[in-house]
Structure 1
């Protein structure tokens, strides 16, 4: 998750000249007021004050905010979080103001962060903040997540509203794979019931099956829900050969999902996410930038990519190395299983009866409270 992934991505984008086909903006830090539109004040105060040097004085707060192995304290943490969140907020603003048909923030996509705690390398949930921004003028937002891990933080934030539909394709193993959520029967609650869609996958899914399943689900979801904008989280840990991933996807297949979502012509926000083999993360996000801009970059690395960056792409020096053909993970997704997952999603869509009507004056500002009330109600019913 270190910024080196972004440095390599930036060098590839510049090397191919893709920056000449889009408007490029310098971001600014998100303000505390902007961050408080989702995150709690005490959690933000903690993030702002804690450093590696004074961490001992916050020992009692570390468990409360889930700070530990997966979410360590590091120098510049507050600046980093506020900058990537500010970038996603600015990207959403470009979409809202019709300055961009597609806006990209590869530094964003940190989908595990919760209202009052960090999770899975994620401290501030820039995706939730950006979606709240979009909801100011867009009646319905569709969130699609193709990270190998379940987009639990975003789903949890919008669990009780029908103004956001979340659709996550991910590896699911409740007891053995982080975060252990995202079963097919995890469908939302309250006004948001049936607006949380999950596609739980098993190890080793390949290009052909993934693309077929993705298209067969996304098309009816968009037709039924009729979103006015889409946020697509492009986590690169779903690629074959990722250090934490368990799929066999190649860069072209991952990019085909982005191209398919783009083909619907809706305002689109692309964000990054996971990905723990930096040379492949950067290849992927550069390729998906080329898809967004409609520029064919070919298969060879750009000629302008000089030292020291070129050395990181040895020995093939290709934009599309073979990532999924080595059979690192056996494909445990049978056609019967994938079809059963698709059918379950279609069954959920039948409950919706078309796109929900929206009272535009109601922007979901108290999502944490709504979710707490729902969960407390469930607990009371279980006791009874």
Structure 2
């Protein structure tokens, strides 16, 4: 049965071909795995599939500083040793290595989120999906936490051209610090992040006391959680908070970051969610029937990530997939 919602799905096979390095937990190949599952379950027949445009440097500079974008464009694995000062300045190196086709990788995942936002703005779809997006740690002038370009901020800025208020929801195990920081002083974006907090867990921000400042005061909500939270506790908190937020804030559109490192058994995460629990959050947000932009994010046990995002694609399409209770 075909979903009553019109869904646009963005994917470029090149995004899964980049390699962060042998010991790096980020494996973009998980995006190819997700896409193969989407095809195997014939979900592609129920939605419109698009190859995103590669975001132009000037589009990336809508949020990021022009000098940072220029450096990302220029730097290669062969030349990085010539720029030790810039590498430090832009926080490139360990967590955020320079690899082959780095800039093109950024252009693809950011282009997907921008295209998704534009299709929503033009009312060409009800829900737009870009599993390659969701890189929520990148800052205006620097890379952070495996993230180079903050596609979410770019997508939200695009949505703000058509909507007075945008709600951002983040269920990655890590705090959505880059997005929160970008909109910390405005009431036009409300950010809500559910994440592990404490024990020096990356990025170290996201205390319940961080609530926004100036015009943005009370428009940032942080839900700091401890290790091992399970489906029932997580979804109960999620539904209670998000229902109240939507009722009081009345957003025109929602951006949902579905980082899958909050699943049980993740290489870097410490929560105990199943795909069912994770997907229940997606199902709940969908019910508000607001223009919805859905992205990926973290997720470092790639088989689990692919299963989860394929399952959630099914949820967005109102299509039940067999679920191995991952």
- One fold, TM greater than 0.5? yes
Q: 1:99 aligns with which of 108, 114, 124?
A: 124
Secondary structure of the residue aligned to 1:150 is coil
Match of 1:144 in 2: 169
Q: 1:10 aligns with which of 13, 35, 40?
A: 35
Q: Does 1:221 align with 2:257?
A: no
Match of 1:68 in 2: 93
Secondary structure of the residue aligned to 2:305 is helix
Give how far 1:3 is off. Answer: 2.0
Secondary structure of the residue aligned to 1:60 is helix
CA distance in 2, matches of 1:58, 1:28: 30
Match of 1:283 in 2: 307
Normalised to the residue count of structure 2, the TM-score between the two structures is: 0.91
Report which of the two structures shows the higher radius of gyration computed on alpha carbons: 1
Secondary structure of the residue aligned to 2:207 is coil
CA distance in 1, matches of 2:68, 2:300: 27
How many aligned positions are there? 301
Q: Does 1:19 align with 2:44?
A: yes
Match of 2:267 in 1: 243
CA distance in 2, matches of 1:100, 1:293: 12
CA distance in 1, matches of 2:29, 2:56: 25
Q: Does 1:50 align with 2:59?
A: no
CA distance in 2, matches of 1:296, 1:203: 30
Alignment of 1:198-237 (within 5 A): 198-237=222-261
Deviations 1:270-299 (A, max 9, x none): 000000000000000000000111111223
Match of 1:159 in 2: 184
Q: Does 1:264 align with 2:269?
A: no
Alignment of 1:322-341 (within 5 A): none
Secondary structure of the residue aligned to 1:230 is strand
CA distance in 1, matches of 2:54, 2:63: 16
Match of 1:80 in 2: 105
Deviations 1:241-271 (A, max 9, x none): 0000000000000000000000011110000
CA RMSD of aligned residues (A): 0.7
Normalised to the residue count of structure 1, the TM-score between the two structures is: 0.78
CA distance in 2, matches of 1:124, 1:42: 13
Give how far 1:87 is off. Answer: 0.5
Give how far 1:2 is off. Answer: 2.3
CA distance in 2, matches of 1:292, 1:100: 12
CA distance in 2, matches of 1:119, 1:3: 17
Match of 1:341 in 2: none
CA distance in 1, matches of 2:263, 2:82: 40
Structure 1: gaps (5+ residues)? 300-317, 322-384
Deviations 1:15-57 (A, max 9, x none): 0000001011111110111111100011011100111000111
Match of 1:253 in 2: 277
CA distance in 1, matches of 2:136, 2:312: 19
CA distance in 2, matches of 1:279, 1:96: 33
Deviations 1:75-114 (A, max 9, x none): 1000000110000000001111111100000000000000
Match of 2:153 in 1: 128
Secondary structure of the residue aligned to 2:89 is coil
Deviations 1:122-155 (A, max 9, x none): 0000000000000001110000000000000000
CA distance in 1, matches of 2:44, 2:135: 24
CA distance in 2, matches of 1:7, 1:179: 27
Contact in 1 for aligned 2:193/2:223 (Cα 8 Å): yes
Secondary structure of the residue aligned to 1:91 is helix
Alignment of 1:340-355 (within 5 A): none
Structure 2: gaps (5+ residues)? 1-25
